């Protein structure tokens, strides 16, 4: 069953940040959450994880997510945040092991042999095995980002949420991460990923949800919804879509930012 969000609203400091947001993310697929700066993508991901008070309905695989306790929710879904504070002294392996906390028995102080296998797999999937014994804070931004993905994978979620997971990655690491997400979706994970790179979104996502001004401006397959009109009205750019014969998906070629008054961002 899909992730289904209905009439979701979030306020911060008395300001409406998300209003009447409704969308679904198909199971075992990658859904891209796109939209300009400030559209509400991070707020939406935090609300799905239950980190913010929100009104509305969030259902996943028959569960009413806001009604689940923290531990059950953490076994069902994981979030890779844009930036996450991490305890200074932890090794990379310790950070990834945090993903196993929702499964720990009350008396358990060390990861079990089964946990160790899962942690090893998460490290190798993200190409971070070589850093395992390093102190996390000594890693570069891109290396840290991959470790945060490993921590979320170690959580073995059925629903994986990622907030701009490619922002610090070089192009090879970006392609590797998105290929890994495709593999995880193929193996049964439902994935919702906020992305700024629309060409990556077109190439790797099965479904897109476009946020603008805290509302859903469009949702559907990349080919259906990414039109020059949408790029103009939501992002304020003039752009063309050209066909890429290698994978049948279009490529976006950006021409220029249009004058602010010309963009018609939906209210």
Ligand X SMILES: Nc1ncnc2c1ncn2[C@@H]1O[C@H](COP(=O)(O)OP(=O)(O)OP(=O)(O)O)[C@@H](O)[C@H]1O
- Taking the C-alpha atoms of 247, 41, 44 and 104 in order, what is their torsion angle to the nearest 10 degrees? 70
Of 177, 226, 179, 221, the C-alpha closest to 198 is: 226
Q: Does 267 bind ligand X (CB under 6 A)?
A: no
Told to check if 213 binds ligand X by CB under 6 A, we report no
C-alpha distances out from residue 138 to 143, 144, 246, Å: 10, 9, 40
For ligand X, give the closer residue by CB, 122 or 218: 218
Looking at the Cβ atoms of 37 and 246, the one nearer to ligand X is 37
Q: Does 41 participate in binding ligand X (rule CB under 6 A)? A: yes
Question: Which range binds ligand X by CB under 6 A, 37-45, 171-179, 222-230, 235-243?
Answer: 37-45
Q: Which of 26, 146, 155 is nearest to 98 (CA)?
A: 155
Does 40 engage in binding with ligand X (CB under 6 A)?
A: yes
Query: Do 1 and 46 meet the contact criterion of CB atoms below 8 Å apart?
Result: no
Beta bridge partners of 159: 77, 190
> Among residues 197, 262, 249, which one has the least CA distance to residue 223?
249
Task: Point out which span in 12-20, 146-154, 178-186, 258-266 binds ligand X (CB under 6 A).
Answer: 12-20
Choose among 235, 242, 240, 241: nearest CA to 257: 235
Report the nearest approach of ligand X to the CB of residue 252 (Å): 17
Residue for token digits 């998105």? 178
- Per CB under 6 A, does 215 bind ligand X? no
Min CB(205)–ligand X separation in Å: 16
CA distances from 116 to 100, 226, 232 (A): 9, 43, 49
3-state DSSP assignment of residue 226: coil
Kindly tell me which residue out of 6, 7, 38, 87 binds ligand X, with binding defined by CB under 6 A: 38
* Least distance CB 69 / ligand X (angstroms): 25
Shortest Cβ 10–ligand X spacing (Å): 9
Judged by CB under 6 A, does residue 42 bind ligand X? yes
Q: Which window, 36-44, 139-147, 197-205, 245-253, contacts ligand X (CB under 6 A)?
A: 36-44
CB atoms within 10 A of CB 255: 11
**Closer residue to ligand X in complex, CB, 118/194:** 194
Whichever of 12 and 70 has its CB closer to ligand X, that residue is 12
Nearest-approach distance from CB 235 to ligand X, in angstroms? 11
Is 202 an interacting residue with respect to ligand X (CB under 6 A)?
no
Binding residues vs ligand X (CB under 6 A): 12-13, 15, 17, 35, 37-43
């Amino acid at each position: 069953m899909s992730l289904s969000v209905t009439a979701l609203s979030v306020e911060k400091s008395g300001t409406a940040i998300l209003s009447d947001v409704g969308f679904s993310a198909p199971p075992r697929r990658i859904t891209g959450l796109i939209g300009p700066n400030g559209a509400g993508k991070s707020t939406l991901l935090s609300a799905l994880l239950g980190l913010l008070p929100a009104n509305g309905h969030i259902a996943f695989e028959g569960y009413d997510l806001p009604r689940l306790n923290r531990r059950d929710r953490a076994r069902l879904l994981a979030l890779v945040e844009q930036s996450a504070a991490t305890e200074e002294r932890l090794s990379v392996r310790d950070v990834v092991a945090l993903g196993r906390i929702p499964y720990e028995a009350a008396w358990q102080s060390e990861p079990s042999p089964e946990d160790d296998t899962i942690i090893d797999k998460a490290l190798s999937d993200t190409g971070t095995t070589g850093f395992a014994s390093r102190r996390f804070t000594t890693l570069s931004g891109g290396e840290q980002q991959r470790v945060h993905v490993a921590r979320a994978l170690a959580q073995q979620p059925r629903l994986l949420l990622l907030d701009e997971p490619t922002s610090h990655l070089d192009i090879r690491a970006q392609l590797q991460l998105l290929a890994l997400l495709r593999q995880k979706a193929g193996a049964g994970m439902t994935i919702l990923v906020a992305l700024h790179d629309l060409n990556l979104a077109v190439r790797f996502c099965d479904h897109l949800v476009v946020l603008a001004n805290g509302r859903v401006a469009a949702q559907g397959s990349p080919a259906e919804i990414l039109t020059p009109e949408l790029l103009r009205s939501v992002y304020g750019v003039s752009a063309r879509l050209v066909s890429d014969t290698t994978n049948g998906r279009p490529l976006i070629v950006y021409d220029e930012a249009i004058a602010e008054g010309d963009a018609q961002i939906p209210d």
